[in-house]
Amino acid sequence: PLTPPWQGGGQEDLSVENHKVRVLVDAAQSVGVLPLNLIDSGVDFYAFTGHKWWCGPEGLGGLYVSADALADLHPVFIGWRGIVTDANAKPIGLKPGAQRYEIATSAYPLYAGLRSAIALQDEWGTVEERYAEICRLSKYLWEGLSELSHVECLRTSAPEAGLVSFRLTNGMPHKKLVDLLEKQGIMVRTILNPDCVRACVHYFTTEAEIDKLVGEIAIQLG
């Protein structure tokens, strides 16, 4: 067996120096929030779902593949929508670009829903303005939670996103607090690792809604 490169030994070079490395971005929690230029970013793959920050329908997402990375890919599954046929309907090749990965039936109603959801976001301002508002509201929530007894925010400064995580220091199970808040029409969730409660704000969240959350937590913790 080869000696691991970190142990030396003069064995075969296992570094990636001479190999092409592809970069994949999981954008489930960033698409629709952060200003973005995919070409300038240099990423090879950018995968996202449409039902989170874009508030689109569940079950639909997207994948960006750079032109350079696309040249190295080949379809695993092939369907009638991804092939080119001759006059006799005989397959003669794959369609260019991303069309070669289309297989069969698509959920067109979901496409329409996601397009509408994305278009609606533009009515709230530019992506830079929307992100700035998320950060402002996130800081507002973080400051409110930081002032509560028996609440410890995981971040020592305001998050640079809409996710604010905190833990309870009085022994109350996090799941119990989440259930109590849900009965009041306030939806937050537990995270297992690290063990905490996560609250989320969007740019259309109001300060009154944040005040309601902080106030109800204060009541439940006594």
In total, the chain counts a number of residues equal to 222
Structure-block tokens of residue 92: 């003669």
Structure confidence by residue, pLDDT tens digits, 157-199: 999 999 999 999 999 999 999 999 999 999 999 999 999 999 9
- Report domain extents, the chain: 24-122, 127-220
Nearest to 172 by CA among 148, 208, 147: 148
In our burial notation (b when 16+ CB lie closer than 10 A, e otherwise), range 133-155 reads bbbebbbbbbebbbebeebebbe
Please tell me the class of the 24-122 domain: alpha beta
Structure confidence by residue, pLDDT tens digits, 24-82: 999 998 898 888 888 888 999 999 999 999 999 999 988 898 988 888 888 888 999 99
Structure confidence by residue, pLDDT tens digits, 81-98: 999 999 999 999 999 888
Q: What are phi and psi of 147, to 5 degrees?
A: -85, -10
Does this chain's domain 24-122 share its CATH topology with 127-220? no
The yes or no reply on domain 127-220 and CATH 3.90.1150.10 is yes
Spatial separation of the C-alpha atoms in residues 173 and 176, rounded to whole Å: 5
Amino acid at 95: K
Q: In Å, what is the CA distance from 217 to each residue of 123, 146, 150, 199? A: 33, 12, 10, 12
Q: What is the pLDDT of residue 109?
A: 92
